[in-house]
């Protein structure tokens, strides 16, 4: 089995992106699966183009994209991506779309094809906070999750794919009072637990993962 896992470069004035830093720390082999790590730009469209190129070249069985969600406490396993770009800030190329469809011929939304509930449970088992998230936002994180699932769907690829949001790491919150963060090594361990859950669960757990709000 081959797992392609991506992380973004820094954006929004940050000097570091915990997503890529945590991905870099992963082992090259987990549970017998080859782990291929890829940095992608925090840029609408260009991020997806780079992802598509590497999917075609690497031919992975699983694709997991990882991004930063400053302000969240836990590893957030995303359930759904929507067909909308609405940038709170410009991307790293200065582009700031407002209410733009990602793909005109795409569905309104695509759901993760990863065993998201099993992933949450396995992350918790190693002592790390985790939860299902029902919004990946409308910035480049949602853009790449939607683009990934769109590509899998349109190309009819035998690939399972989805997205994980991770918190800030320690050095990012030195001047951000009362802001949640997580140790970088802890995030990497959480990602490893997620990968193991994907490898060991062909189907998801039938347990509640819903929220009231």
* Cα distance between the two ends of the chain: 37
Query: For residue 30, which of 159, 194, 160 has the smallest C-alpha distance?
Result: 194
pLDDT at 121: 98
Task: Check pLDDT > 70 for residue 212.
Answer: no
What's the number of domains the chain is made of?
1
* CATH code of 8's domain: 3.40.630.20
Confidence of residue 25 (pLDDT cuts 50, 70, 90): very high
**Is 54 part of a structural domain of the chain?**
yes
**Is 206 part of a structural domain of the chain?**
no
Q: Return mean pLDDT, the chain.
A: 97
**What is the rounded average pLDDT of the residues 136-162?**
98
pTM: 0.97
Catalytic residues: 78, 141, 165
Cα 147 to Cα 203: distance, rounded to the nearest angstrom: 23
pLDDT at 210: 81
**Is 55 part of a structural domain of the chain?**
yes
**What is the rounded average pLDDT of the residues 136-158?**
98
**Is 211 part of a structural domain of the chain?**
no
pLDDT at 209: 84
Task: Check pLDDT > 70 for residue 213.
Answer: no
**Is 208 part of a structural domain of the chain?**
no
**What is the rounded average pLDDT of the residues 89-116?**
98
Q: Domain range spanning residue 125?
A: 2-200
**Is 91 part of a structural domain of the chain?**
yes
């Amino acid at each position: 089995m081959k797992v392609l896992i991506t992380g973004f470069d820094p954006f929004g004035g940050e000097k570091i992106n915990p997503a890529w830093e945590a991905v870099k720390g992963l082992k090259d082999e987990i549970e017998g699966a080859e782990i291929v790590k890829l940095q992608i730009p925090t840029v609408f469209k260009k991020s997806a183009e780079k992802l598509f190129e590497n999917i075609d070249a690497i031919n992975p069985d699983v694709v997991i994209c990882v991004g930063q969600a400053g302000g969240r406490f836990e590893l957030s396993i995303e359930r759904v991506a929507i067909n909308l770009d609405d940038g709170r800030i410009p991307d790293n190329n200065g582009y700031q779309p407002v209410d733009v469809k990602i793909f005109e011929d795409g569905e309104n939304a695509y759901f993760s094809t990863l065993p998201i509930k099993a992933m949450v449970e396995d992350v918790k088992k190693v002592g790390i906070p985790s939860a299902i998230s029902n919004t990946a936002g409308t910035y480049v994180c949602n853009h790449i999750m939607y683009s990934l699932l769109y590509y899998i769907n349109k190309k009819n690829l035998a690939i399972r794919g989805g997205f994980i949001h991770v918190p800030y790491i320690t050095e990012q919150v030195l001047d951000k009072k009362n802001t949640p963060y997580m140790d970088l090594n802890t995030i990497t361990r959480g990602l490893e637990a997620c990968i193991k859950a994907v490898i060991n669960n062909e189907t998801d757990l039938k347990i509640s993962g819903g929220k009231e709000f």
